[in-house]
């Protein structure tokens, strides 16, 4: 009998690092017995598609999810059969199918917050010459739910579905500032575990956001994500039990200077969010 070959420790370590680096989900502590592993993996494959991805091959999906090749092949076949993925036989690549698109649009169209916010966001975008967006948390990122742009030729070209880092953007920092303390502590731990070398910077950024929000009613980010982007954000938690969201106004530093962010845009964004709250609760404008 041929002796079993010992597993290579370095190979195990490499696979572990790859999976940890590509996985952007928070751990579901205490939920393991209630979770369907196949469903979790299937949704992970759908989440591997990002804005701008026309299609992905199996190797792209494996790299982004950390799943074994056999698992990816089995689940992508199932998702294709159900219409959640489309498979191009000639290219050997997958794209999001109509069932996935319909699901996303159903979620957005059923959101009263997004529906009422959009008519309030556009005037602010026109006034500031910047982009106004609403988003919420998606694992360890923020995801755009809707956005409005001005007619300016120089504006942020992010669209619904775009993902942004939490601790480097006004949207993410405003969201963190709006969380309850225990929720925020859990988020900070997850962010620090994902980027242990940035643990102190993450903690400092979120603590500063909490202080800004308490003092000013809004949060600012000047060049933390990209050096040329300045933005202001405000958290908003609807009283009907809908999830916490963050609404931001952002653009290049030449348009949103630090002075303008504090004297004009921050107060205007706070007023817009208050108008949104009043409309959702049926109060007079």
225 pLDDT exceeds 90? yes
Distance, CA of 112 to CA of 242 (rounded, Å): 9
Contacts of 28 (CB under 8 A, 6+ apart): 35
Distance, CA of 85 to CA of 103 (rounded, Å): 13
29 pLDDT exceeds 70? no
DSSP string, 35-90: --HHHHHHHHHHHT--TT-S-EEHHHHHHHH---HHHHHHHHHHHHHTTSEEEETT
Higher pLDDT, 226 or 35: 226
**Average pLDDT of 13-35?**
45
The pLDDT of residue 285 is 63
Q: Which domains does the chain have, with CATH numbers?
A: 10-98 (1.10.10.10), 105-280 (3.30.450.40)
Residue 275: CB atoms within 10 A of its CB come to 15
Instruction: Decide: 254 and 217 in contact? Cβ < 8 Å.
Output: no
Q: What is the pLDDT of residues 61-70, one digit of tens each?
A: 999 999 999 9
Residue 51: CB atoms within 10 A of its CB come to 12
Query: Residue 125 burial by CB count (10 A; 0-12/13-18/19+): exposed, middle or buried?
Result: buried
Among all chains, which residue has been given the structure tokens 């196949």? 38
Mean pLDDT of the chain: 85
Q: What are residue 216's phi and psi, to 5 degrees? A: -115, -25
Distance, CA of 105 to CA of 32 (rounded, Å): 30
**Average pLDDT of 3-23?**
39
56-57: strand order across its sheet: 56-57, 93-96, 85-88
Q: Degrees (nearest 5) of the Cα angle 226, 194, 84? A: 85
User: Which pTM value belongs to this model?
Assistant: 0.73
Q: How many residues does the chain have?
A: 285
154 pLDDT exceeds 70? no
**Average pLDDT of 235-262?**
92
The pLDDT of residue 30 is 47
Q: What is the pLDDT of residues 159-175, one digit of tens each?
A: 788 889 999 999 999 99
Alpha carbon 250 to its chain's center: 16
**Average pLDDT of 223-245?**
92
The pLDDT of residue 185 is 96
The pLDDT of residue 138 is 87
**Average pLDDT of 112-133?**
92
**Average pLDDT of 99-123?**
81
């Amino acid at each position: 009998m041929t002796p079993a070959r010992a597993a290579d420790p370095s190979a195990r370590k490499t696979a572990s690092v790859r999976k940890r680096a590509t996985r952007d989900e928070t751990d579901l502590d205490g939920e393991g017995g209630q979770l369907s592993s196949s469903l979790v993996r299937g949704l992970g494959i759908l989440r591997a598609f990002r804005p701008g991805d026309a299609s992905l091959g199996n190797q792209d999906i494996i790299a982004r999810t950390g799943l074994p090749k056999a698992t990816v092949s089995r689940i992508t076949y199932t998702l294709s059969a159900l219409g959640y993925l489309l498979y191009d036989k000639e290219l050997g690549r997958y794209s999001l199918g109509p069932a996935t698109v319909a699901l996303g649009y159903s979620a957005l169209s059923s959101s009263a917050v997004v529906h009422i916010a959009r008519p309030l966001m556009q005037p602010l975008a026109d006034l500031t010459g910047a982009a106004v967006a609403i988003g919420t948390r998606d694992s360890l990122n923020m995801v755009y739910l809707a956005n409005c742009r001005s007619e300016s030729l120089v504006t942020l070209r992010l669209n619904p579905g775009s993902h942004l880092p939490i601790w480097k953007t006004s949207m993410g920092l405003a969201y963190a500032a709006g969380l309850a303390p225990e929720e925020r502590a859990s988020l900070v731990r997850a962010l620090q575990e994902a980027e242990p070398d940035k643990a102190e910077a993450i903690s400092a950024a979120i603590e500063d956001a909490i202080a800004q929000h308490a003092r000013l009613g809004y949060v600012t980010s000047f060049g933390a994500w990209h050096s040329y982007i300045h933005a202001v954000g405000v958290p908003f938690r609807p009283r009907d039990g809908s999830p916490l969201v963050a609404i931001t106004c952002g653009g290049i530093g030449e348009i949103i200077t630090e002075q303008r962010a504090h004297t004009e845009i921050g107060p205007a964004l706070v007023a817009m969010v208050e108008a949104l709250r009043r409309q959702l609760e049926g109060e007079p404008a």
